[in-house]
Structure 1
Amino acid sequence: MAEKTEPAAAAASRLAGEMEVEAYRCLFPLAFLERHLGESVRPDARRLSEARPTTVALGAVSSAHGSALVRLGDTAMLASVKLEVMSPPAESSDDGSIAVEFHMPPICSPLVRPGRPADVAPVISKALEDVLMSSGMLNLKDLCLISGKASWLAYLDIYCLNADGSLFDAALISAVAAFTHLEIPLVSVGDDGRVFTVGGNEGKTKFELVNREKRKLTLGDIPFSLTCALHKDSILADPTSEEESIIETYVTVVVDSSDRIVSIQKLGGTVTSMTAVKECISLAKERRRKLREILTDSVEVMEVDQTE
């Protein structure tokens, strides 16, 4: 039986209609968005309170001590943690430390120019470090090797592979996932007292091992975030870059695994009502539960792959 084909006239009419919609979307982006919001739907067919599909893949970088690849809709982040032995600061001789850097290479967005770092990158770097430390997720004493002599410095680098909105949310998920995957390597002390990491033949080293086995970090309350775009009476969870280019007001809420508020940050726009802020907090707590499930599932998948 011959397959039915769309008549040429109907196909041309449909194509013209699609081109007209896209032209209207480009020429009048705010009006286009508001037409959708009037029907309680987003241009990408999501509900206003609905976040985009999220995936977490642990161990994406084999050369790192901990790594993760995260996709939040079309936003993609690659996080890696590398550990180096350092001398602890005199004021906290039993603590390690972390250094966070968020990178936005030109491939991630047409708005990022080669040779010119994105203005938002250092802002996100600082915000990530503040949240990771203030949440209590990381215990710096857990990074101590030899009291007063040696500790770990954890370099966290996050690379934005594709920027399609909610960059801080995706970056924080990838950072948490990378530290979840992190495995602290074996270290030894040489004859000169220098502490160094042991390679693949750790069982045959002639030097005494400081730590007898590789171990995971003990993580405290884990932070998760949700950014909401506020436009008139509408609250849009997890905005895309298109929505961010139109809407001026954003609220980012960070809650930990016990649903305690770690931070609330509002960017741009006019004064926001407490009712809207409370709604953002409620959405963030709901999102936290879903992200926790996604992270737990990714850990289970990794453990299954390791046993096969």
Structure 2
Amino acid sequence: MDSQFKIIHPEKYLRHYLAQDLRPDGRDFMSFRPVSINVSSIKQADSSCVFKVGNTTVICGIKAELSVPKALTPDCGYVVVNVDLPPICSPKFRPGPPSEEAQCATKIVDEILTNSLILDLRDLCICKDKLVWVLYCDLVCVDYDGSVIDVCVGALMAALDTLNLPEVTYDAETKLTVTHPVNRNPVPLKSITVSTTFAAFDERILIVDPTEDEESLSHSRISIAVNADNMCFVHKSGGSPMAEKLVTKSITMAKKRAEAVRKLIETATLPFKDT
């Protein structure tokens, strides 16, 4: 009967729980789902991570390739981010070209990476104007149940934190490139960035780490990325305006959450560094 009520009247079903200061999965408004991190699980990638929050699962694989630098940044490498939301992760996505949501997620994750300044692209330069590293970061969602931006960012950060690149020498005169696959060095990173998503109902109810059902029924959503103790990105995905007190509460909670998730990532990646 409970499942039928959820299908027929999903909003009333959710409101019934919210009225009791509870959520359908048993969490209170400020409780997060458990986090699972598994790094270096894809052997064909230079670095990888399976990041899971609740049911939402994202696989990140990074492939590093040598290329000529962009004309406007001759002393910098570059990063190409792509988020894939295939039909396997949710019935809401169909086969074919990337959906609007996948394109939006790609843009958001790319902007979070850029704004966080976690990676100095000059560290990816081998020879100015001639040779740089390009990092292709593919993020594939295999189970979509809300807060997908948070999971994508977590997977990307963990993968970057375990990325080791081979030493490369380039002779400008002979244009000869020599790669030393045995000698590998980690990519220097600054403080790991963490994203946290919130959903608001009316002007008084705020929940963290919403599921897909909660996101679809919420009046507004906001994702906040925190690097160290500073916000580096905020994205509000349409909906109604969010009350100022809820925004302030979200920022405070996002900073606390960032510290906890950062420790989890550092613990998970430590055994795989410099290997």
User: Scaled by the length of structure 1, what TM-score is found?
Assistant: 0.84
CA 303–144 in structure 1, closer or farther in 2 if over 3 Å, else same: closer
- Is 1:229 matched up with 2:199? yes
Partner of 1:193: 175
- Give the deviation of 1:93 after TM superposition: 1.9
Partner of 2:256: 286
> Do 1:85 and 1:196's aligned partners in 2 also have CA atoms closer than 8 Å?
no
Q: Which among 235, 243, 246 is matched to residue 276 of structure 1? A: 246
Q: Which among 190, 212, 230 is matched to residue 241 of structure 1? A: 212
Partner of 2:190: 220
Partner of 1:88: 69
SS at the partner of 2:72? helix
Supply the distance in 1 between the matched residues of 2:118 and 2:239 (Cα, whole angstroms).
Answer: 32
- Is 1:137 matched up with 2:107? no
Q: Which among 114, 128, 147 is matched to residue 128 of structure 2? A: 147
> Do 1:224 and 1:255's aligned partners in 2 also have CA atoms closer than 8 Å?
yes
Q: Which among 241, 250, 254 is matched to residue 221 of structure 2? A: 250
String of CA shifts for 1:37-79, please: whole Å, max 9, x gaps.
1121110001111111011111021111111110010000000
> Do 1:68 and 1:181's aligned partners in 2 also have CA atoms closer than 8 Å?
no
Q: Which among 17, 22, 26 is matched to residue 36 of structure 1? A: 17
Q: Whose strand fraction is larger, Structure 1's or Structure 2's?
A: 2
> Do 1:85 and 1:195's aligned partners in 2 also have CA atoms closer than 8 Å?
no
CA RMSD of aligned residues (A): 1.9
Moved more, 165-174 or 243-252: 243-252
Supply the distance in 1 between the matched residues of 2:65 and 2:4 (Cα, whole angstroms).
Answer: 53
- Give the deviation of 1:105 after TM superposition: 1.5
- Is 1:22 matched up with 2:3? yes
String of CA shifts for 1:61-102, please: whole Å, max 9, x gaps.
111111111001000000011111111223322111111111
Q: Which among 128, 142, 158 is matched to residue 139 of structure 2? A: 158
> Do 1:97 and 1:143's aligned partners in 2 also have CA atoms closer than 8 Å?
yes
> Do 2:162 and 2:273's aligned partners in 1 also have CA atoms closer than 8 Å?
no
Please identify the structure whose Cα radius of gyration is greater.
1
> Do 2:64 and 2:136's aligned partners in 1 also have CA atoms closer than 8 Å?
yes
Supply the distance in 1 between the matched residues of 2:156 and 2:74 (Cα, whole angstroms).
Answer: 25
Aligned residue runs from structure 1 range 27-176, under 5 A: 27-176=8-157
Supply the distance in 1 between the matched residues of 2:133 and 2:200 (Cα, whole angstroms).
Answer: 41
String of CA shifts for 1:89-144, please: whole Å, max 9, x gaps.
23322111111111112111111112243221111111111111111101001101
SS at the partner of 2:141? strand
Partner of 1:178: 159
> Do 2:46 and 2:164's aligned partners in 1 also have CA atoms closer than 8 Å?
yes
CA 31–124 in structure 1, closer or farther in 2 if over 3 Å, else same: same
Count of residues in Structure 1 that have an aligned counterpart in Structure 2: 273
What amino acid sits opposite 2:190 in the alignment? Answer: G
SS at the partner of 1:297? helix
> Do 1:249 and 1:269's aligned partners in 2 also have CA atoms closer than 8 Å?
yes
Moved more, 30-39 or 264-273: 264-273
SS at the partner of 1:91? coil
Moved more, 268-277 or 189-198: 189-198
Partner of 2:270: 300
